[in-house]
Amino acid sequence: MVRPKSSGIPKGVAINRGHQTGSFAFREVFTGFEEIDAVKSIFLDRTKEVLLDLKVDLKARQGYLHVDDESGHIVVSHEYLKTGDERFLYLDVVHELVHIRQFMEGKELFDSRYSYLDRPTEIEAYAAAAEEAKRIGMKRDEIVDYLRVEWVTEDEFQRLLSRMGI
């Protein structure tokens, strides 16, 4: 049996690109994530509660997404929200939700003892996003494109791909 290629994000998930900058409830910007197995595996029986309490700050800034290590909010570049590839946004949310759990556990998200791609927190978050990318049917080259960020060297990037089994 040949499985059809997934062309986008999972059914039931929506990304509201119409918001202006400001602070919003997670579910105002990202809906349906509480039904995704990858997200349920992050928070287990607390998934709905965590997502109900979570805030998203849309900022007029360059970049992608990150977790504010003081407020515990997901900070999103407004421009990226409006123009980014929907699959990449979806996977970035999964990645950042791992960081939300880590933040809730008191882990240091930006531990300067490690380079970016050697941080245990980043390895865990990238692994969750890479696995979800495979699950939604992205091809290897699409996953490589998703994982590539401009602030790491090629050697670091190749090490990440190896760690992710890609």
Question: For residue 152, is it within any domain?
Answer: yes
Question: For residue 7, is it within any domain?
Answer: no
Q: SS3 of 155, please?
A: helix
Domain with 113, as residue range(s), is 14-163
Which pLDDT does position 6 carry in this prediction?
37
Rounded to the nearest integer, the mean pLDDT of the chain is 91
- In this structure, what token pair is assigned to residue 59? 């900022």
pLDDT higher than threshold 60 for residue 56: yes
Question: For residue 1, is it within any domain?
Answer: no
Per-residue DSSP letters for 19-69?
A: --SEEEEHHHHEESGGG-HHHHHHHGGGHHHHHHH-EEEEESSSS-EEE-T
| pLDDT one-digit tens code per residue, 27-53 | 999 999 999 999 999 999 999 999 999
| pLDDT one-digit tens code per residue, 89-114 | 999 999 999 999 999 999 999 998 98
| pLDDT one-digit tens code per residue, 113-124 | 988 888 999 999
| Single-letter code of the amino acid located at 153 | T
Question: For residue 100, is it within any domain?
Answer: yes
Question: For residue 111, is it within any domain?
Answer: yes
Which pLDDT does position 160 carry in this prediction?
83
Question: For residue 151, is it within any domain?
Answer: yes
Which pLDDT does position 87 carry in this prediction?
96
Question: How many domains does the chain contain in total?
Answer: 1
Contacts of 124 (CB under 8 A, 6+ apart): 98, 102
pLDDT higher than threshold 90 for residue 5: no
Question: For residue 8, is it within any domain?
Answer: no
Question: For residue 155, is it within any domain?
Answer: yes
